[in-house]
Structure formats: C-alpha cells, structure tokens
Amino acid sequence: MKIAFGKALITPDNYVGMPLAGYTRKDVCRGKLDDIFVHGVLIEEGYLGNLVKRILLISTDLLKLSMLFNNYVKERIFEKYRISPGQILIHATHTHAAPDLTGEFTYPGGVLNTVRGILFGKPADKYFIEIAGKIEKLVGELIENLVPCKMAWAKEKIEEDLIINRRHPTRRSKFDLGVISFKGLENGKLLGMIVNYAAHGTTLSNENLKLSADYIGRMVHRIEELTNNETKAVYFNGPSGDINPITTCGSDFDEMEKDYSHIYEQKGTYEDTIRLGYFLGERSIKLANSIKDSQYVNTLNVKVYQKIFSIPMKDINASFNFQFLLNKLLYWVKRYFLLPILLAKPKPNFPSISLKKKRNKINIYTMIQIFEINTKKGTFYITGVPGELFEDIGKKILDVTPTGKENQFIFQNTNDWVGYLFPLKEYTRGGYEILPTFSPLGGEYIQKEALKFYEEIKNNANFHHF
C-alpha cells in the first residue's frame, strides 16, 4: 500500500470584492484571515502482481459543490490519470467564509437579495475552471509523491462542549472525532491523517467579511505546526446539518431550548476559529499517536459502491396548523415561482442542482457513495452523502454499519449538495432550514437509500465494484 498527501492553494487573486458564500452579509469580501485550499489523499493498493488500484479523496475549503461540477473534475482526472470517477470522492468542508461560486450571494443584503441571487446571480465560472485545473495538477503531484505506508484508524467521543444542536440544545450533542492514520512503512513516522468530526463551518459570524477556511483551516495548520510540517492532515466534515460550533451562545442549554436566537445569532470571531481548530488539531494528533503499532496494516482491499437516484419535488401533508400553512406557502413559492424561472433561464455551465422536469413532475438527481475498506484488522466504511445531514439521520447510518459505528466515517456535502437533509418530523417543526432546501423529502430519501444500500451490502448484493 502507498499513500500521498498534498494540497493546492485556491485563494483567488481577486478575492477582495468577491461575495462570500453561506450568509446573507451586508457587504462583499474585504480581506483575508487565512487562505483556502484543496486537499488531496491518494491511496494506492496493489493486486494481481503489478496491477494497482487508486482511491482519491479530495476535500475543498468551500461551502458546497454540485454533482455536475464534481463529475466534470472526475472526468478530467480520469482522462489524464486513468483513475475511475467511481474511485474519486470530492467533498466541501462547508466553510461560510469562502467565495460564492453559484451566484446565490451576488447581492449583499437580506434574504430577498439571496433569492435575487439565486434567480439572477452570476456563477463564478472562471473560478470553477481554475479550481478544477488546480485539482487536476494536485493529483499529478500526489501520484509522483506516493510512498509505502501502513494504516490504522480510531475514534473517540469528544465530551467537551464544542458543538450544539441548534434545534435541540438540551440534547447536549456529542460527536466522535475520527482519524485514519498513515505511517511510513520503514521509518514508522506519522505521514498524515484523515480527520472526521461534525460541526458547521460557522465559528465566524455573518459580520465577518474576510476570507477563511474557518476552524478547518486552523485545525490543519495546527497539526502541521506541531509536527514541524512532517504530518499532513485532510478534514472531512461529518453530519452537521443542525450542528453548530459553540462560540458566543454560552452553555445554558435549558435557556437556549426556550430561545434559539442565542444559537442562530452567535457572533463568533477569529479567536473562536483558532480555539476550535487548535483543539481538534491537538486531539487528532493525540488520538493518532494513541494507536498501537500492532493495529497498523500495510495491505487493504477497497470496494467502492455508488448509487444515483432521484428525489421528487413534492410536499407532504401534516397536522393543520400555522406551521403547516407556512410550509405550504414556502413550498408553493419554490415550486411554482422560483423553479419555473430557474428552468426558463439559460443553463449555467455548472448548475447547482441536477434538475429534470417531465410534464408536471420535477426531480433532482443525486448520489451516495460508500467505500468499504477491508484489512486484516477489520473493515471500516466511508459514506459520502450529498448535503447537510441532520444529526438524527447520521445516527441511523452509524447504527447500520455492518462492522459497528466505531468503524464508520460519514462525510456530508460529498459529490453533490442538495440542501439540508432532515427527518420529516423536523419539517413539521419548521425553522430556517426549511427555506434553502429543494424538497421536504430530501432527508427521508437519503436516509432510505443509505439504509437500503447497507442492507444490500450486508446481503452481498450483486454490485459493480469500482
């Protein structure tokens, strides 16, 4: 087995004046707190003598990326390096301080200006192509830098109050910190790690007007700093659709259950970004160093499964009350006002979502990707889902992991973005998250397809492996 870690700078030259994605801000970008990058991990396994199979994991310091753009990148990589698109995973960390790519945030201001941006904003096509080119070049560097290695993995629950479920504060939500660790085969030095945790990229508030990778960037920086740049790190965000980092809301969870505004209106600063990033970086190093040498393996067998499916644009019936009427109104505005305008517009090069209309039916097409990594020490899974996964659905995926939830790494915002992915019970409660979501059924369909997928894997269904 061989491994290579690498990164490429994707901070645009003209970042000052660009709109930042994720919030309705008062102004465009006015400076920079830290750079944004695309990070890559290339794993090579040998089989049948001199044949090799490569698995490529890409993480970008961006809010989101569409399936059509990701497919474009994968095709470029395949054409140049012959790595199958099915063996490539592309993730967006969901920082809320990176440039807007889709045009949604073209016009600073409130929610109405965001709607204006969705309808009439200008996608950053030139920047899209620039990012794709840098990813392609990075893959070439990864291939050149492959070195023999051994691998192990571990998880531990973070008990400190770092995160909060903004819709259910009194849950006192906790999430496992996971690492997939790689050491040099001969010298045993820690070469790098894949890190997985769950928290929105929002330590910086909507008042921030400066570019940043948020806490993710500070976590990677801290790992490199503490290891004299000998250990690399790549971060993939877990199911954090309703999980925020705690910055200024405090820890009176009972009070926040009564008034959610304490959470939604946090005013975190760069000090909070550094605090969370450094904490996760230091704990990741500690966790990786705690893995015994006897747990490392130098061979593996990877199976990759992926499923493309559709989610219908349709509403659900629920108890007749004010929230029911509000949800109906929002649905009708999106279905019969916004979508017809979007469908009538000239199609952008990289549409935000993969829409298909047939008569009166509208569907969005998306995908789930699962990596099954088999070793002599056991089997673990990486599950890539296409949006902001709510905590409850994340737990259900963990629970169906064939080898136990301690052997599962969930990456949200992977290969696509289709909005917030919530259980139907959350839809009937209402809230902000209902607004920027294509279909109320998105979360239910993702949950159904993921659980069905794992059931088929357990039953050794006849899949085509990439």
The list of the chain residues with pLDDT below 50 reads: none
Q: Which of 388, 380, 367, 355 is nearest to 449 (CA)?
A: 367
Q: Residues 72-88, buried b or exposed e (16+ Cβ, 10 A)? A: bbbebbeeebebebebb
Predicted local confidence at residue 415, as pLDDT? 98
Query: Exposed/middle/buried for 42, CB within 10 Å: 0-12, 13-18, 19+?
Result: buried
344 touches 28 (CB < 8 A): no
User: Does residue 466 fall inside a structural domain?
Assistant: no
Tokens of 144: 């050149």
Structure tokens of 188? 């045993």
Evaluate whether 330 touches 403 at the Cβ level (below 8 Å): no
CA gap 196, 154 in Å, rounded: 10
Whether 310 is covered by a domain: the verdict is no
Contact predicate 280/177, CB 8 Å: yes
Neighbours of 225 (CB within 10 A): 12
Total number of domains constituting the chain: 1
Half-sphere exposure (CA, 13 Å, Cβ side) for 148?
6
Q: Answer yes or no: is 334 within a domain.
A: no
Backbone phi and psi for residue 138, each to the nearest 5 degrees, phi listed first = -60, -40
- Give Cα separations from 370 to 56, 140, 252, 307, 308 (angstroms): 13, 24, 38, 9, 12
Q: What is the pLDDT of residue 359?
A: 82
Answer yes or no: is 313 within a domain: no
Tokens 């695309």 label which residue?
38
* Greatest Cα pair distance in the chain: 66
Residue 349 lies in a domain: no
Q: For residues 51 and 198, what is the distance between their CA atoms, to the nearest angstrom?
A: 36
In Å, how far are 2, 116, 187 from 148, measured between CA atoms? Answer: 4, 52, 10
Q: Using the CB atoms, write b or e for 425-452: b if 16+ within 10 Å.
A: ebbbebbebbeebbbbbbbbbbbebbee
Q: Which pLDDT tens digit goes with each residue over 235-285? A: 999 999 999 999 999 999 999 999 999 999 999 999 999 999 999 999 999
Domain that residue 59 falls in: 2-302+366-458
Contact 377, 295 (CB under 8 A): yes
Report the pLDDT value the prediction gives residue 324, as an integer from 0 to 100. Answer: 79
d(CA 197, CA 132): 26
Q: Is 342 a member of any domain?
A: no
Q: How many CB atoms lie within 10 A of CB 44?
A: 19
- Strands 2-9 and 147-157 come out as antiparallel
Name the residue among 245, 170, 180, 171 with its Cα closest to residue 214: 245
Alpha-carbon distance 314 to 128, whole Å? 31
Its sign, for the CA torsion 343, 348, 349, 353, is negative
In a domain, 318, yes or no: no
Pairing of strands 232-237, 190-197: parallel
Supply the pLDDT for residue 464.
54
Task: Determine, yes or no, domain membership for 357.
Answer: no
| pLDDT tens, residue by residue, 124-138 | 999 999 999 999 999
pLDDT of residue 220: 99
DSSP string computed for 180-219: EEEEETTT--EEEEEEEE---B-SS-TT--EE--HHHHHH
First to last CA, the chain: 18
